[in-house]
Amino acid sequence: MIDMEVADFNAVIQVDLVAPFIVSKAVAKGMIERGGGKIINICSMMSELGRDSVSAYAAAKGGLKMLTKNMATEWAKFNIQTNGIGPGYFATSQTAPIRVDGHPFNDFIISRTPAARWGDPTDLQGAAIFLSSKASDFVNGHVLYVDGGILATIGKPSNED
């Protein structure tokens, strides 16, 4: 953090916090006119954890988690449910270079995650379907973490197989 430029920090905040605010405000107006709706913000498990080199991202996603809760409380009277999905570590084109056996970060994720694997983007489908359905009409201000259990544990002790 000490060497991070303020402009770089602000760029992350703009994309991961300010942009969802702007989009949510715009769609909420239409939802109010139609009598309600659902907003699903893409949060992150990094709103719950600290880690070297991701301070701006974690700050933005922590802010988005709280923005989600505040949207939920302010817009509930309009029958708008605002929730978030908090992905853990997922197999994407961005993570491909480090998802190799023997790479220290890959090995860390596999050993730290109770599911012992990276998430597949299809793992997010159930959360999105639920939060966008009538089944979630009384769910508001919640972040549903899809993380293979990584937030549920401090990790596998080194003396266990």
CB 60 within 8 A of CB 42: no
72's CB contacts (< 8 A; 6+ apart) are 81, 82, 83, 140, 141, 142
Superfamily holding 6-152: NAD(P)-binding Rossmann-like Domain (3.40.50.720)
pLDDT band at 158 (very low <50, low <70, confident <90, very high): low
Strands 80-87 vs 37-42: parallel, antiparallel or unpaired: parallel
pLDDT in tens, 34-46: 999 999 999 999 9
The predicted pLDDT at position 63 comes to 98
Structure tokens at 104: 């220290």
For the entire predicted model, the pTM comes to 0.90
Residues 40-56 have a mean pLDDT of 90
Q: What rounded mean pLDDT belongs to the chain?
A: 94
Residues 132-154 have a mean pLDDT of 96
Q: Give the residue with greater pLDDT, 157 vs 101.
A: 101
pLDDT band at 51 (very low <50, low <70, confident <90, very high): confident
The predicted pLDDT at position 157 comes to 56
Q: Is the pLDDT of residue 153 over 70?
A: yes
pLDDT in tens, 100-134: 999 999 999 999 999 999 999 999 999 999 999 99
Structure tokens at 80: 């708008």
pLDDT in tens, 61-91: 999 999 999 999 999 999 999 999 999 999 9
Which active-site residues does the annotation give? 57
* % of the chain surpassing 90 pLDDT: 87
The predicted pLDDT at position 53 comes to 82
Domain ranges of the chain: 6-152
C-alpha distances out from residue 91 to 5, 42, 96, 97, Å: 29, 16, 7, 10
